[in-house]
A and B are shown apart, each in its own frame.
Chain A
Amino acid sequence: MSSLAFYVHIPYCVRRCGYCDFNTYTPGELSIDLNFRDVSRSYIDLLLQEINFARQISTAEKVPTIFFGGGTPTLMEPVDLGRVVSAIGEKFDLLPNAEVTTEANPDTVTQEKLAALRTAGINRISFGMQSATPHVLDTLDRTHNPENVLKATQWAREAGFDEISVDLIYGTPGESISDWQRSIDTALSLPITHISAYALIVESGTKLGAQVKRGDIVMPDDDETADKYLLADEKFEAAGFRWYELSNWSKPGSESRHNLAYWNGDNWWGAGPGAHSHIDGRRFWNVKHPTAYAQKMANGGDPKHEEEFLTDSQKASEEIMLKIRLADGLAFDSLTPIQIDTLEGFKSQGHLILQSWSEKRAVLTRSGRLIADRIVREILL
């Protein structure tokens, strides 16, 4: 029996951050009550319907991971998130050691809430820390006080969360190398097992995108962002965090199994507005707006917007594109002789690890990771 990972999307935020282009909505945008209590119940009801629908579509039994993302999942009542976990457990075989993660805003969690989340069956928590520098958080339009992160992670530990992760963003306009150094050091001082660190991507259609386009904000030089990546990798490794994906580091055994499912090409179901799913070479995604989603659910329960069936060559492209980013790398079995030949060039320039190469795997070095997209283009185009 194949397995099926679940991604559960919570498309709500108290306010929208300036860099964010995720599918999320504020109370103002939806004209709803600020405390989300009523929304929580009715929205989760829709998700339960979609889980029922997934049960009809999927032949999988085992569910190894659940991931609540957003948006801000902690705007929902922990009890309601618990209803989702239970529903998946009822319809599928939720494995006893399943990884159940929620994203959380360090500003809005309380000790009580964290305890309630544990009770709801959630055993891994990922805090949006972003930076330890107030002026960087300000540029990112984040509201939290950097000190809240320490408190939140300590409370999470006290509440019984063994797996705690923080997200960091580097390369924000105005962020100096020492600002970034401070974020790294702060993160490493926390009781955590996992770190994701992303270079800021300016998306068109966001507030930040508009500011950059107008010239109000100047993006930092790519070379400086590269230096920040190298600095982070060095420090994380020194602190016992091992890179396992380009932007992810963990203590041994604390990798995000849910995210690995994406990168390994496993099957997963994305529930909620705009969520993407992948089942056996078929990718499909739901309608984006919560209202449209609610209507679809009311009209028979298939919220799908579009789908695509991957050709063999598309599957091969995706495999290369995703696995090259992993510490396990890309096995030569998945490559053509010409592609291996192209990679040989990158190897000789120091972008691939020699030891792995001799074991017939292409694994990126630090410098290689920084040009991973270019390497993929060279292999595939």
Chain B
Amino acid sequence: MIKEGLYLDKNYIIDLKKVSKTYDDVEVLKNINLYVRENEFLTLLGPSGCGKTTTLRIIGGFEQPTKGKVFFEGKDITILPPYQRQINTVFQKYALFPHLDVFNNIAFGLKIKKISKVEIKKKVTEMLKLVNLEGFEYRSIDSLSGGQQQRVAIARALVNEPKVLLLDEPLGALDLKLRKEMQMELKNMQKRVGVTFIYVTHDQEEALTMSDTVVVMDKGMIQQIGTPIDIYNEPKNVFVAQFIGESNIVDGIMHDDFVVEFAGRIFECVDKGFEKEENVDVVIRPEDINIVNAEEGMLKGRVKSVTFKGVHYEMIASGENIEWKIHSTIMKPVDSEIGMIISPDSIHIMKKVSKN
């Protein structure tokens, strides 16, 4: 699924070609190739320091790549300053102008474009309606709650009718409930206005819920690009598997295509194309381990701990020098012997990466 190649395609609204960025000898982005399609909701996901915000800032024009090029609808915009790009940003912590009221914050970009007062009034009013803030025109910024400020920030960006909207962890400062609401609202808004959204977050759940495409990043490199379902079900490497959801990762040996050995037993799997007897990482999601009676299982284990997680129980079972994390709606008490069954398509085989 890695999107590479040096041909230009007009269907890509944003296209990063071999982009690298170095700060004081530290390489924060290493040879990033990424394209974004029109009207796509694309999320850059990764832990802090993975380079996702730097990537966003390069697209916005606030940073320039040390190497590589940025294309916008096929045109090279690598050195274009932010104010000449048809891209707007919703900043982390919003960066609203404290000396202006809600109306003038939203009208800021329109006033610079010298649009007539009547037109500005009309557009701002429309925007306030879109973000559910009618009647807040003349409120001062510090009288607004976090969620309301967030809406103003979105309105301020969208009123300029950008082709691409960049969002830098926009929901980070909100509480959980409001965050969930805003996730839905943002997604709906994106569909309604038909603008390409590039969204940065470290919250994997947020990325999976909202995006059309998720770009997982770590250590300045793209680890995997794909739909949320692909990313979750077919993690390309151990990092993605660990970062997205929870995983059991164990050492294994690939005896042949579709045949893998781990935990002292041979399993059938759906992966192929490895060398014979190659050492591999085996990734199994905790919810893919089914609990059965001890004698019926492929693997045996003894329950060490049980935690109630709401929808399911999380159990840690030990056996054969491996601790298995299991998510199940069936609860087995501590110290009970259990059997575990793993179906072939739940076993994900990954090449070992040399530890760096």
A and B part of one assembly: no
